[in-house]
Amino acid sequence: MDKKQTLLSASPATSFVYKVEGSEMNADFAGKINANEGNCKIEDRVNRIYGANCVLQFKYVENDLFYNNLCMIDSRLPQIIARMMADCYKNRDLNIQKAIERIT
């Protein structure tokens, strides 16, 4: 079985929360972004955000235990992973090694 590998398994325990920042961000724009559905809805939403000259700003990890475990490895690991995830979706390229190269 050749399944695509992911940076993190999606679950409530691994939820990263971002704030969308930019002059175009308002309730109407947020509604249009959230209306995107389909197989690539996350990538489409992220690209619409960046396409409107907005950015995703990492806020926090929802699960405290997961956050603390990441910080035990490296105090900046939550921020690094959050940046990698945003980059992967923005570039429609979920290759972890390429994401590391792009953000460094």
Sign of CA dihedral 29, 78, 96, 102: positive
d(CA 23, CA 13) in angstroms, rounded, equals 31
Provide the pLDDT for residue 42: 87
- Given this model, what pLDDT does residue 5 score? 61
pLDDT for the residue 25: 86
Q: How are beta strands 16-21 and 55-61 bridged, if at all?
A: antiparallel
Domain boundaries in the chain? 16-103
Q: Is the dihedral of CA 46, 51, 52, 58 positive or negative?
A: positive
Q: Mean pLDDT for each consecutive 10-residue tract of the chain (104 residues)?
A: 62 88 88 85 90 93 94 96 92 88 91
Taken in order 9, 10, 11, 13, the sign of the CA dihedral is positive
What is the pLDDT at residue 39?
83
**What pLDDT shows up at residue 57?**
94
Gap between the Cα atoms of 22 and 55, Å rounded = 6
Give pLDDT, residue 68: 95
Q: What is the pLDDT of residue 8?
A: 67
